[in-house]
Amino acid sequence: MLNKCKYLFICGAIASGIAKLTINSSIGMLLKQYGYQVSFLKIDPYLNIDAGMMNPYEHDEVFVTGDGQAIKLTFLRRSRFGYWKL
């Protein structure tokens, strides 16, 4: 039997970033415990902007991953909640 791919979208401008992060990570961790394969995709409105060049006073600080990529700090927080490696 073929496995069907399922998607879960969580979005919203009213909830704070931490609230959406906590909801996403908690649901992801629960699904992972039930044997589902979980992956996150964050769509950020900063198109064609390098995260390392953003002003940390206006935006989050950046985090450098193991492969040398610079990403926003919210990804690090998500990996802590969901127990994923970056």
- C-alpha to C-alpha distances, 80 to 41, 67, 84, nearest whole angstrom: 16, 18, 7
Q: pTM of the prediction?
A: 0.49
Q: Tell me the pLDDT tens digit for each residue of 33-43.
A: 888 888 777 66
The residue extents of the domains of the chain are 17-82
Whether the per-residue pLDDT at 1 is higher than 50: the answer is no
Between 26 and 57, whose confidence is greater? 26
For 51, which DSSP code? G
Task: Report whether 68 contacts 51 (CB < 8 A).
Answer: no
d(CA 33, CA 16): 26
Task: Report whether 83 contacts 29 (CB < 8 A).
Answer: yes
pLDDT of the residue at 20: 72
Enumerate the H helices of 1-86 as residue ranges: 17-33, 73-82
